[in-house]
Amino acid sequence: MFRAEPLVKIRLLLLASEAPDAALELARFGIYSPAQHAPAALAEKPAEAYREAWLEAESRVAKLAERCGGLPELSIPQGVAAPTLSDLEELNTWLKEVWNACLAAHESEASIQEEVRHLDALQDTLNKLERLDVDLTQLLRPNGLLAVNIGSLPAASVKRMGEALSMTGSLLYMFDTVGDQAYAVIAGPRERHREVVGLLAQAGWRELPVPQELCAHPHAARSCLLEERKRVESRASAECTAMDNLRGTYRSGLEEARLRVALGRPLAEAAIAGVRGHGALASLSGWIPRRCKKELKAALEARFHGQYWLNLEDPQASEARQVPSLVNYPQWLLPFVPLVKSYGIPRYGEFDPSLLFALTYLLLFGAMFGDVGHGGVILFLAVLLYRKLGRAAWVGIAAGVASMGFGLLYGSVFGYEDLITPVWLSPLHEPTRILTVAILFGIGFITFTLLANSYNQFNAGHIGAALFDSTGLAGLLFYLGATASIIGLANLYRLADFSQLAWGMALLGISMVAIFKWVETRASFGERVLVTAIETLETGINLFANTLSFMRVAAFSLNHVALALAVFTIANGLGTTGHWLTIVLGNVIIIVLEGGIVAIQALRLMYFEGFSRFFSGDGTEFVPLKLAGAK
């Protein structure tokens, strides 16, 4: 819980043909995170073609599943083997056939829909066609002097088409517009009709089939259109049946294909980082938890019967930055983990601050927003929205409880300070005490962060920085010495008696920091002097500025009372209805506005006064290969 689990580097060498099963076996465990550290001799990427074929199959299965709909939840039985490359290629060929069949049906559906829209448009334009001041019998005569086309084209192209047609001696007359389509009649000399046809093809022209009846008796076209609509409807119904048949025919095959794609996923995903090879050999490399060594060996032995070479070794110190972090958190801590990860992932071997974060965040939130009533409202809302917020609701529940707890300590209920007796103190009546407590908490918190940083630096092998840097033990010595000296000067907590010792500690600490900075700076003499002086000075200023930053904890607890007082003052000047309305609205504003600000301030204190001092946050997350739907 406090640091990442020890990992070992895994290199599994086996026949390339068995790589899919090996990846599947590793994915079944859910403990293997692929990474590239195969020997240089294995430079080929044997799983690349596999990944390519898998991606195609996966994309087709996803599209078909979307079209088919209602596929049962995927379930992967034990003992099944992963598909080989040739299996995937075969599957791809089958999926392509199925997709083409579906696509043809889909295209047919689309064309029916388009035809229906076309008929609707034709119905609309029929009246206009009837009113065209031309003799259609003459106009559409196949052996006439004029070649005539009636149809539609994109409305945006009408002007340009008219101009282009004028170059062939033809005319365009637009008689209707539906959506982005314009309906037009084109007439021109028959000898240049071939040129016009080429031009129409470029423009996406769609010919309107004008029924023969329309030529002789335009009003008869309506019944003709009705006939056409009936025909399209019966075609649509036939297509629906065909589509249902297709679904029925391919359904079981599609379920099988989905299973195979799921079984192929581990190698396809491992191929990105962890699979190299040479000739007929493939190597899967990555990281697994040290505790799983025996279990993994046994599983591989059972599956491959010694036909493999497995190498497991601890990471070298120089590899620490490449090792991913796997931290096992207890369930109750999980809601807080995303808040830590939004700052960064702990490096391998680094102190994981999630537990510290959860406890301190709640403590700070409660201390700044201590009120039994307001905390109760937050708790109630978090419970109410539990389904919507999921695990994150627990952060709200815990914050509400913390707020209620501090409300009891402060004796505050919805801003009323006189309903219950404070168990500890009332911030309004004892502001100096609460300020002192906040600063003492800050001193404790910063001391902890300096210790945590020293621990991290020791673990990373940076002994010098752990001992002598401003955020190491020397910095801590200076900080504690200087803090004790200042408290001694104020003659508090009887520290004046230790004044000399404290000043000595501070001087020794800051001197060590200065020497360390001097040694570490690689620059000209002048620049070294400057860097050492500024960075040493900065050490002192930063530590104390950060300590004073914790005064905001006390300030916000006072602010909470002050806001409530302001609401009461306004409410008391109003009548009964106005009074209670103001009280309710005022409390809503306090919860939303101040609650939000306090939540952010607590986060800010954790990130900037805490994490920035000891938590690098530039680690890599351990992402194991997993098998979706595994039983």
Partner 1 sequence: MNLTGKPNPVSAYLNTRVTLFSSRLWPAESLNKLIETPAEEMGATLGAHDLPQLAAGFDSLDNRSLEQRIIAQLLEETTVLIRPLSGVERDFLTYWTERFEVSNLKTLLRGKMTGERPAALLNRLTPMGSFGRVDINDLAHAEDVNELLRRLEAGPYAAIVRQARRAFEESHDPFILDAALDRSYYEGLAQRARPLETAAGLSFRCLMGGLIDRINLVWLLRYRFNYNLPPSQVYFLLVDSHYSLGSMRLRELAAQTRLEDILAALPTPLRASMEGVTEIPQVFTRMERAAAASAQQVLRSSAPAIARAFAYLLLRERDLRAVRAVLRGRLLSLPTADIRLAMYQTLEGNA
And the tokens for 199? 């031009």
User: 3-state SS string over 386-403?
Assistant: HHHHHHHHHHHHHHHHHH
Q: How far is CA 327 from CA 7, 572, 610, in A?
A: 11, 54, 20
Give ∠ CA 255-258-263 in degrees, rounded to 5. 130
CB of 359 to partner 1, least distance (A): 40
**The one segment of 161-169, 299-307, 337-345, 621-629 that binds partner 1 by CB under 8 A:** 161-169
Q: Which of 99, 365, 406, 622 binds partner 1 (CB under 8 A)?
A: 99
Q: Per CB under 8 A, does 45 bind partner 1?
A: no
Q: Are the C-beta atoms of 225 and 123 separated by less than 8 Å?
A: yes
Instruction: Determine the Cα–Cα distance for residues 69 and 240; give it in Å rounded to an integer.
Output: 15
**What is the C-alpha separation between 590 and 581, in angstroms, rounded?**
14
Q: β-strand 206-207 against 275-278: which pairing, if any?
A: unpaired
Only one of the segments 80-88, 126-134, 153-161, 551-559 lies at the binding site for partner 1 (rule: CB under 8 A); that segment is: 153-161
Contact between 56 and partner 1 per CB under 8 A: yes
Choices 15-23, 75-83, 149-157, 346-354 (CB under 8 A): range interacting with partner 1: 149-157
Residue 180 sits in the site that holds partner 1 (CB under 8 A): yes
- Work out whether 59 is an interface residue with partner 1 (CB under 8 A): yes
Q: Which is nearer to partner 1, 31 or 270 (CB)?
A: 270
Among 93, 100, 212, 234, binds partner 1 (CB under 8 A): 100
Q: Which is nearer to partner 1, 170 or 360 (CB)?
A: 170
Quick check: 201 binds partner 1 (CB under 8 A)?
A: yes
Q: Is the Cβ of residue 24 or residue 186 nearer to partner 1 in the bound state? A: 186
Span of 94-102, 416-424, 444-452, 524-532 interacting with partner 1 by CB under 8 A: 94-102
The dihedral over CA atoms of 255, 257, 259, 263, expressed in degrees to the nearest 10, equals 180
What is the β-pairing status of strands 309-313 and 7-15? Answer: antiparallel
178 binding partner 1? (CB under 8 A):
no
Site size for partner 1, by CB under 8 A?
35
| Smallest separation, CB 498 to partner 1 (Å) | 58
Using the contact rule CB under 8 A, the part of the chain among 196-204, 357-365, 375-383, 497-505 near partner 1 is 196-204
**CA separation (Å) from 261 to 75, 284, 337, 424, 442?**
12, 20, 32, 63, 55
Tell the smallest beta-carbon distance from residue 45 to partner 1 (Å).
12
CB atoms under 10 Å from CB of 3, counted, come to 17
Cβ distance to partner 1 smaller for residue 52 or 255: 52
Both structure tokens of 20: 């899919």
Q: Which of 22-30, 166-174, 273-281, 492-500 is the region at the interface with partner 1 (rule: CB under 8 A)?
A: 166-174
Q: Which tokens is 543 given?
A: 């530590």
Question: By C-alpha distance, which of 151, 254, 257 is closest to 200?
Answer: 151
Task: Tell me if 130 sits within 8 A of 183, measured CB to CB.
Answer: no
Q: Please give the residue ranges that form the binding site for partner 1 (CB under 8 A).
A: 52, 55-56, 59-60, 96, 99-100, 103, 107, 110, 154, 156-157, 159-161, 163-168, 180, 195-196, 198-206
